Amino acid sequence: MKKSSPTLHDVAALSGVSHQTVSRVINNPETVLPETRSRVENAIRQLDYHANMIARSMAKGRSFTLACISPNLTDYTFASIIEGAETEARQKGYFFMSASAPDETSFKLMVKELVANRRTDGMMVINPYIDNRAEFIPQNATTVLLGARPRSTAYATVCLDDKAASQIATRHLIENGHRQIVHITGPLLEDCSQDRCSGYEETLIAAGITPNAAYRVEGDWSATSGYRAVQHLLQTGLPFSALLAQNDRMAIGAMRALREAGRRVPEDVSVIGFDDMPLASYFDPPLTTMRQDTFEMGRIAARLLIEEIEKPETPRAQLFLAAELVLRSSTAVRAK
Amino acid sequence: MKKSSPTLHDVAALSGVSHQTVSRVINNPETVLPETRSRVENAIRQLDYHANMIARSMAKGRSFTLACISPNLTDYTFASIIEGAETEARQKGYFFMSASAPDETSFKLMVKELVANRRTDGMMVINPYIDNRAEFIPQNATTVLLGARPRSTAYATVCLDDKAASQIATRHLIENGHRQIVHITGPLLEDCSQDRCSGYEETLIAAGITPNAAYRVEGDWSATSGYRAVQHLLQTGLPFSALLAQNDRMAIGAMRALREAGRRVPEDVSVIGFDDMPLASYFDPPLTTMRQDTFEMGRIAARLLIEEIEKPETPRAQLFLAAELVLRSSTAVRAK
DNA sequence: ATGAAAGCGCTAACAA
DNA sequence: TTGTTAGCGCTTTCAT
């Protein structure tokens, strides 16, 4: 910024009080005489004075800033979490910065910058276990984890109830008469992929169906991996009438492979995804999916983080959010 | 952050020099004797010392932070610009914060926070003219504008060469034999929508086709608006064999309306979009589109901003980036 | 209720 | 080459 701005002293000079009194009307208005106060307030308005946050941070030893680190910013799920967190942070008077760290190295660097430089009062980490990044979170950093099953009580954690969501999806398919259900998973080292697998298998078993490992194909969340998974399955000749993909992108890729192979969705194969990403209803056919409220997830995480910052003794919450089945046209009753 | 960290003084004490010398080995290593330097460096390593950016900002009167304000974070185009800007900023040693301001009011508030509080050394504003938000950018704030045609030489500006891009798209359609080309635009108060309109019309005229206002329908960038636009067009009975949408989402919506009306893409109607959003190739049919390199756009904007911050007398650049035609299967030669 | 003094951790200017 | 002295603009503590 180019022009230097008025300081506490300028306001003090103009209103004929000490700079400390000015600080008081800003921070503890009730401790100063109404008369002096209004005089100071006038001066503030007149000079268009705004506190210098840097100076305030320095004096208070806090930055009033929250940071959210995610693998990237372009993935809708992440972006939406971030928007939720930002909304909450701003509302509670905190600054908010989002940053992306695609890999461990950049994560490590970023956390170092953030924590060692005392840039933030606390941080939120989205998908802390996609690699070993969680190991680089310093003990002294107030942190909330997002999008992975809690592994330690040291951190507050917010994630989807993946198992329950997967159960609902699987049950939906079974209720429509499907028994041979392909499952395209995310990377199996991610907690959520595993939990969704358990949900799927348990539901199968509860319905008297023995899970068959051949029906499970591991993907990497990309549409291409969903596409390839189905191509692979088709080659093996394994019969199936339904498909559960652990995210919408893979479901989209799968639908394309099915279409190319001449299998109709949902007549020949029912497909259900996860997330309810934008335009999910614009694919052909519109995608049935498990919607997760990522914006809300972000809000909640920010709320927990702020609570922990302001009241460090708060016990760490571990929250599981519910997903909701959104019925569209990619699933149907199994043809006789 | 919970535990207090070592300061310049701690390092100074441990290495037996003054704090200033420590500051020197950090900022101007060449001005201190190799011997003292290594002693200090050892101490730094030993204590795991990291400079307190807040204090440094305070002393220097700068925050070493860049901010990027966009209408939202979830729109892929924006997210991708932000990632590019973030990458560049970080690489040049700046912190980066992204923030979203959906409307004028929140924009105003945010800028106030950012500028008046001296939170940032400069900011980038994406889509400054979607409303009157540009009016709230203070004169003393170093700012780069993104995604809108330059309106003032006061700001460096980076945007797509919308007119040229639109010309390429239109020409592609014309070369495939189309003469009745529907044009679904973004909100016409946005510069880029207007420029794309000019490009479209001029190309038509150059090909000897008289632009017909009835072929132009204004949308709002949403898939739904593209869908409605086509429904409307179909009702009017206006004949057309091609359609140019100013973004992919509207193109997707349009394709759906066409499909529902029994018109095949591309056999009956060729469709071309703008952006090359993720999964553009996964729709049915895969979408031909004008790709814009938004990541690069972000990088460039950040570079310009940093340049302006570090050398305030730099003339403000006004850059136009080229879009690239990505041929897929939604366009074809017009049926006889 | 108000003011004066000290200090947050750093850099800048000047001395030695 | 290194150390000393002053701030940066604010909050905190202690007087008044």
- Domains in chain B, start-ordered, CATH in brackets? 62-161+293-321 (3.40.50.2300), 162-291 (3.40.50.2300)
Asked if B59 is an interface residue toward chain A (Cβ–Cβ < 8 A), one would say no
Residue A16 CA, chain-centre distance (Å), reads 50
Which residues from chain A sit within 8 angstroms of residue B105, using beta carbons? none
Count of all residues that appear for chain A in the document: 336
CB-based burial of residue B222 (10 Å sphere; 0-12 exposed, 13-18 middle, 19+ buried)?
middle
Check residue A1 and give its pLDDT. Answer: 40
Strand C bases near protein CB (under 7 Å) are: 1-5, 7-13
Query: In the 8-state DSSP scheme, what is residue B170?
Result: H
Amino acid at B227: Y
Identify the residue whose Cα has the smallest distance to the C1' of D2: B21
Nearest alpha-carbon partner for A230 in A256, A210, A268? A256
Q: Give the nearest nucleotide to A118, CA to C1'.
A: C9
Look at residue B269 and give its three-state secondary structure: coil
pLDDT > 90: percent of chain B: 79
Check residue A106 and give its pLDDT. Answer: 92
Check residue B2 and give its pLDDT. Answer: 41
What is the pairing mode between strands A143-146 and A122-126? parallel
If you measure CA to CA, which chain A residue comes closest to B260?
A284
Amino acid at A238: L
Mean pLDDT of chain A: 94
Is B4 a residue whose pLDDT tops 80? no
What is the pairing mode between strands B242-245 and B181-185? parallel
Q: Tokens representing B193? A: 């929508």
Nearest alpha-carbon partner for B279 in A224, A293, A266? A224
pLDDT tens readout for residues B26-39: 988 899 899 999 99
Is B310 a residue whose pLDDT tops 50? yes
Mean pLDDT of chain B: 94
Q: Identify the residue with better confidence: A56 or A226.
A: A226
Q: Identify the residue with better confidence: B109 or B240.
A: B240
Give residue A3's pLDDT band: very low, low, confident or very high (50, 70, 90).
Answer: low
Measure CB to CB from residue B51 to each of A117, A278, A279 and give the nearest one: A117
If you measure CA to CA, which chain A residue comes closest to B100?
A83
Distance from CA of B334 to the nearest CA of A (A): 24
Check residue A4 and give its pLDDT. Answer: 67
Check residue B1 and give its pLDDT. Answer: 40
- This prediction's pTM: 0.93
CB-based burial of residue A313 (10 Å sphere; 0-12 exposed, 13-18 middle, 19+ buried)?
exposed
The number of CA neighbours under 13 Å toward the Cβ of A288 is 21
Distance from CA of A131 to the nearest CA of B (A): 21
What average pLDDT does the segment B168-175 reach? 98
Whether CB of A223 is under 7 Å from strand D: the answer is no
Q: What is each CA distance from A197 to A213, A245, B5, B244, B300, in whole angstroms?
A: 11, 11, 44, 43, 43
Check residue B139 and give its pLDDT. Answer: 85
Whether CB of B74 is under 7 Å from strand C: the answer is no
pLDDT tens readout for residues B8-26: 989 999 999 999 999 999 9
Check residue A112 and give its pLDDT. Answer: 85
Give residue A93's pLDDT band: very low, low, confident or very high (50, 70, 90).
Answer: confident
What average pLDDT does the segment A283-288 reach? 95
Query: Which residues, at least 6 apart from A109, have a Cβ–Cβ distance to it below 8 Å?
Result: A101
Identify the residue whose Cα has the smallest distance to the C1' of C3: A18
Is B178 a residue whose pLDDT tops 50? yes
Check residue B188 and give its pLDDT. Answer: 95
Weakest-pLDDT range from B69-73, B93-97, B128-132: B93-97
What average pLDDT does the segment B250-271 reach? 97
Is A268 a residue whose pLDDT tops 60? yes
Look at residue B115 and give its three-state secondary structure: helix
What is the pairing mode between strands B181-185 and B216-218? parallel
Check residue B50 and give its pLDDT. Answer: 87
Tokens 């430089």 belong to which residue?
A117
Is A2 a residue whose pLDDT tops 50? no
What average pLDDT does the segment B241-245 reach? 98
Amino acid at B335: A
Q: Give the nearest nucleotide to B20, CA to C1'.
A: D3
Look at residue A46 and give its three-state secondary structure: helix
Whether CB of A204 is under 7 Å from strand D: the answer is no
Count of all residues that appear for chain B in the document: 336
Look at residue B88 and give its three-state secondary structure: helix
CB-based burial of residue B218 (10 Å sphere; 0-12 exposed, 13-18 middle, 19+ buried)?
middle
pLDDT tens readout for residues A99-141: 899 999 999 988 988 887 778 999 999 999 999 999 999 988 8
Angle at B230 between CA B228 and CA B231, to 5 degrees: 60
A148-157, Cβ contacts within 8 angstroms, sequence gap of 24 or more = A148/A190, A148/A191, A148/A192, A149/A191, A149/A192, A149/A195, A150/A318, A151/A191, A153/A316, A153/A318, A154/A316, A155/A316, A156/A301, A156/A304, A156/A305, A156/A308, A156/A316, A156/A317, A156/A318, A157/A316, A157/A317, A157/A318, A157/A319
Q: Tokens representing A62? A: 């806090």
Q: Give the nearest nucleotide to A57, CA to C1'.
A: D10
Nearest alpha-carbon partner for A320 in A167, A149, A199, A143? A149
